[in-house]
Amino acid sequence: MRSRSKPLLRTDHVAKSKPRQRRNLAQPQLPFDTMPERIEPALALLKPKAPHGDQWLFELKFDGYRLAIHIEPKSVRILTRGGHDWTERFPTIAEAARKLGVGTAILDGEAVVLDAEGRSDFGALQRSLGGRGGKRASAEAVFYAFDLPYFDGHLLTNAELFVRRPLLTDLLDGGDGGIRLSEEIEGDGDELLVAACAHGLEGLIAKHRDSRYRSGRTGDWLKIKCIQSESFVIIGYEQSSVARGGIGSLLLAATNGTALHHVGSVGTGFREKDAVALRSMLDKLRTKRPAVPIKGKNLVFTQPTLIAEIEFRGWTDDGNLRHASYKGLRELQDNADIYNLGTEA
């Protein structure tokens, strides 16, 4: 795998990676803990602005598939956020994990495909896997590790981030192959976000340095995006005689508690090949009754099965997506986090 540059981390810009911290050899020996079959991931809470204060650490936000790599003496498993085994779909990452030289570990991170400028490209990752429902193995994907909830026989979920982080840094030791360290970057959060956005990156992740590894959206981790991008359920489409694939726009819904709520539509971002394939999938899911109350002309309603990743610039006063653009479909097995109107800030 050819090394890619990381524009935000170049020394001629405001953000610089932090000096590596070595493992604290004076730490007391802990009793061995059985490796969990699976750890529910810690999730980042969306915020409009970066937090301030020395208690916050920053990393770049990636646009890929959240994965956990389980390393044992005789096996490596790569699990999706929903717990599905995708080891065979990421052979390069699995091979890199086998070469780490660690007895047992669980690495939390994200699989991405990088463009020529070192930016994560969700569409390229999806294509490398053969598209939604494809069975292709991705030789292009690399894994950026950003946490270490289990290491060397010890469950670290109750250890603070400032304890886990040096262990992860030491384990990866500056590697630039199939598994890489998600580098910590120093600086003022507002300035870092401006730099990230200027380079066309996704945004920032902020983590409280004293936080333990807690599953779910606890507020210990925050995400601040340059352009908002979330997952929404497709509940139908508007027919068009002139648009690519016959889709004028997709009808979208988010969750609101346990119910679905219409959040508008998206009519841009489709490539012709993608639109034709999407129309074929949607027509197989046709239903006469819409998943949520919605009226309009030339509408085709579908079962709320397909999940789309959508970029948008915010929300209108009536609760619809503003300047939405289609990025691609999420795998059902990826257990995509459908946008919840009741929990996101």
Single-letter amino acid code for the residue at 146: F
61 is catalytic: yes
* DSSP element (H, E) containing 143: strand 142-151
Q: Which residues contact 135 (CB under 8 A, 6 or more apart)?
A: none
Q: What angle do CA 119, 336, 266 make, to 5 degrees?
A: 75
Which residues does residue 150 pair with via DSSP β-bridges, in sequence order?
Answer: 106, 155
In this structure, the strands spanning 105-112 and 142-151 are: antiparallel
Single-letter amino acid code for the residue at 4: R
Locate 13 and state its tokens. Answer: 């810009």
Q: What angle do CA 144, 204, 56 make, to 5 degrees?
A: 100
Determine contact, residues 199/59, Cβ cutoff 8 Å: no
How far is Cα of residue 167 from the mean position of the Cα atoms in its chain? 23
Q: Phi/psi at 108 (nearest 5 deg)? A: -105, 130
Q: Which residues contact 303 (CB under 8 A, 6 or more apart)?
A: 285, 287, 291
Q: Rg of the chain's alpha carbons, rounded to an integer?
A: 21
Residue from 6, 61, 207, 223 carrying the catalytic annotation? 61
CA 294 → CA 261, 271, 280, 308, 316, distances in Å?
10, 26, 22, 19, 17
CA atoms of 109 and 241, how far apart (whole Å)? 43
- Residues identified as active-site: 61
